[in-house]
Amino acid sequence: MDTMTLLSACAKGGTVKVVKINATGPLKQRLISFGLMKGAEVKMLECAISKSTFEIKVGNVSLALRKEEAELIEVCDV
């Protein structure tokens, strides 16, 4: 099995697969509504120099996540 890591640790330009979302309630529902769910492939488009925000692409949708949100998403290599 591939090694799991957090989305916040992924390199710019990398593509990973979502293994688990550790968010709950409205945040989890919002992420799922954007297609960010178990099994989804995610491409890291940009991350701020301070790594406080991340721009990702899920399918045809581009999202911006805060560091706190990205740290709730466990991913592995595709």
In angstroms, the CA 42 to CA 45 distance is 9
What digits encode the pLDDT tens for the residues 17-55? 999 999 999 999 999 999 999 999 999 999 987 879 999
Give pLDDT, residue 3. Answer: 81
Query: Which one, of 1, 2, 31, 34, lies nearest residue 15 by Cα?
Result: 2
Average pLDDT over residues 48-65: 91
CATH superfamily for domain 5-77: Ferrous iron transport protein A (FeoA) (2.30.30.90)
Beta partners for residue 53, in sequence order: 66
Q: What's the predicted TM-score (pTM) here?
A: 0.91
Q: Domains of the chain: which residue ranges?
A: 5-77
What local confidence, expressed as pLDDT, does residue 2 receive? 65
Catalogue the E-assigned strands of the chain: 5-6, 15-21, 41-47, 53-58, 61-66, 73-77
% of the chain surpassing 90 pLDDT: 85
Contact yes or no for 37/21 (Cβ under 8 A): yes
